[in-house]
Amino acid sequence: MKLIIIGGGIAGLAAAYYAQKQADTPIQITLLEQADYWGGKLITDRVPFGDDQFVIEGGPDTFVVTKPWGVRLCKELGLGERLQGTNPKTKKTYILKNDRLHELPGGLTMMIPTEFGPMIRTGLLSWPAKARMGFDFFMPSAPENGDETLGAFVTRRLGRSAYENLIEPLMSGIYAGDGDRLSLQSTFPYFRDLEMKHGGLVKGALAVRRERAKKARANGKSPNPTTSTRLSASPGSRSIFLTPLTGLAEIVEALVAKLEDAGVNLHLNTHVTNVKRENVKRETWNVTLADGESLAADGLILATPAYVSGALIKNFAPELAGEVAAIKYVSTATVTLAFQDCDLPRPLDGYGYVIPRREGHKALACTWTSTKFPHRAPNGYALVRVFIGRAGQESEISWNEDDLLDIAREELQLTLGITTEPLLKRIFRWEKAMPQYNLGHPERLKRINFALEGFPSLALAGNGYHGIGIPDCIHSGELAVEKVLEIKIPSCSTF
């Protein structure tokens, strides 16, 4: 059996890992990556500084533990002890409104307000907007009528102002998306579940909160209601976001080392230009490389962005290719800057801030990296990362490095008053990086899955389909292996 995996991001690496680990017969695995490094969006720049270093993430900076596949893989790779949570001492997160930072109100459960006091006190919403949120208590559930956008749903339940000033920046930001286009079912399906089950968002979030408190009591832990209000922390010092000590590249490095030991053929700088289905009866594959060479395979996993996968399969599966290629991606960039603490006009006393779309900034969010992860900068220095670009605003940005740097510096000057020249800067441009699970995505996935049934030894993996987070991508690699090798990988549901 020869298996070829195209794309050496986390999904492709995870697929190669599970294929070599789980195959019950000998199998030759080849992983092809066009870039000159492994990991795709997972890229960490470790910059030596005196006896210490700055740890700069170019793409993701953490992964969530509530989806178990990330933690499981790290444990299997021997990285369990190296995983760090976000800083338990300073859990504040801010939201920008009219160029002022407002602390995220306490009492949010699953990002839904569940406490009266903090909502009354917040300056993020006007009095009529706060009153409108209360309608959620009395408004009946909408009948089951399929999907709607995240924006339409939250506006219906909590009002437009709560959506624009509170929920949109927290939720659409994850996708660099437009909440008025994102499919609720594909992005936050539990919102609709809360409405259907409990008759409202707030009632549902309160029920979840009570359930969590009950479980915490049963486990002998004291439920800490304030921590459920924060973006990134669970009770005590335990965080729901984790990352290896010196960056997510540790996962990539450990995976590559494992794959090398297992004799997997690893090829960087290998651009795949075409895929042919050779033998329809006993389905085999022919993969053409940019240098004209071709490779034969019995099984094929495409762990490339959906628009690449669509282009690769269009000659033998035009309809499937059309569906896959129709999944839109948004370009983004991150700009990380380092400063001396003494050059900061205000303390970075939180994880950072998010910027609602209605504020009209080119930046989407700003992470105060050295507060969120104190070990990421030497003592006395601060790292700040500005996240640029979102759906619908890409044409407003020129994307050259100088302009991205200017956007980041303007953002920091306007909001934090930082005018000093940074000690170091790192800019990462991510062209067509964030898939948009827009309205119609669930139906598209059904059509894709149906069409894929006609190709038993072909599978798609990666962030374009069932989740964009690192754990989702790892799981997608695992599921692709299950399909192509016709095996079942033991599931993990609890950690």
Ligand X SMILES: Cc1cc2nc3c(=O)[nH]c(=O)nc-3n(C[C@H](O)[C@H](O)[C@H](O)COP(=O)(O)OP(=O)(O)OC[C@H]3O[C@@H](n4cnc5c(N)ncnc54)[C@H](O)[C@@H]3O)c2cc1C
Contact residues for ligand X (CB under 6 A)? 6-12, 32-35, 40-42, 59-63, 271-272, 303-305, 308, 332, 334, 430, 433-434, 462-463, 468-470, 473
Tell me the closest approach of the beta carbon of residue 59 to ligand X, in angstroms.
4
Give whichever of 194 and 386 is closer to ligand X, judged by the CB atom: 386
**Least distance in Å: CB of 33 to ligand X?**
5
In degrees, rounded to 5, the angle at the alpha carbon of residue 459 between the alpha carbons of residues 453 and 464 is: 110
Q: How far is the CB of 495 from ligand X (least distance, A)?
A: 16
Q: How far is the CB of 345 from ligand X (least distance, A)?
A: 27
Going by C-alpha positions, the residue among 490, 10, 83, 13 that lies closest to residue 262 is 13
Decide whether 161 or 334 has the Cβ nearer to ligand X: 334
Closest to ligand X by CB, 60 vs 113, is 60
Nearer of residues 305 and 422 to ligand X, judged by Cβ:
305
Do 296 and 2 form a contact (C-beta atoms < 8 A)? Answer: yes
Helical spans, DSSP H, in 149-286:
150-158, 160-162, 168-171, 184-187, 189-198, 201-218, 249-261
Cβ proximity to ligand X: between 269 and 491 the closer is 269
Tokens 């969006």, residue located: 41
Q: Which amino acid is at 17?
A: Y
Smallest separation (angstroms) from ligand X to the CB of 232: 10
CB of 309 to ligand X, least distance (A): 8
Give the span between the Cα atoms of 269 and 274, in whole angstroms.
16
CB of 408 vs ligand X, minimal distance in Å: 13
CA distance 351 to 371: 6
Q: Which residues contact 349 (CB under 8 A, 6 or more apart)?
A: 90, 92, 371
| Closer residue to ligand X, CB minimum distance, 106 or 464 | 464
User: CB–CB of 316/129 below 8 Å?
Assistant: no
Closest separation in Å from C-beta 343 to ligand X: 26
Minimum Å gap between C-beta 289 and ligand X is 8
In this structure, is the dihedral angle defined by the CA atoms of residues 171, 174, 180 and 181, taken in order, positive or negative? negative
Distance of alpha carbon 4 from alpha carbon 288, whole angstroms: 12
For residues 62 and 239, which CB has a smaller minimum distance to ligand X in the complex? Answer: 62
Taken in order 435, 234, 348, 40, is the CA torsion positive or negative? negative
CB nearer to ligand X: pick between 161 and 371: 371
Instruction: For residue 487, give the 3-state DSSP assignment.
Output: coil
User: Tokens standing for 448?
Assistant: 């894709």
Rank residues 174 and 326 by Cβ distance to ligand X and give the closer one: 174
As beta bridge partners, residue 337 has 384, 425
CB of 38 within 8 A of CB of 268? yes
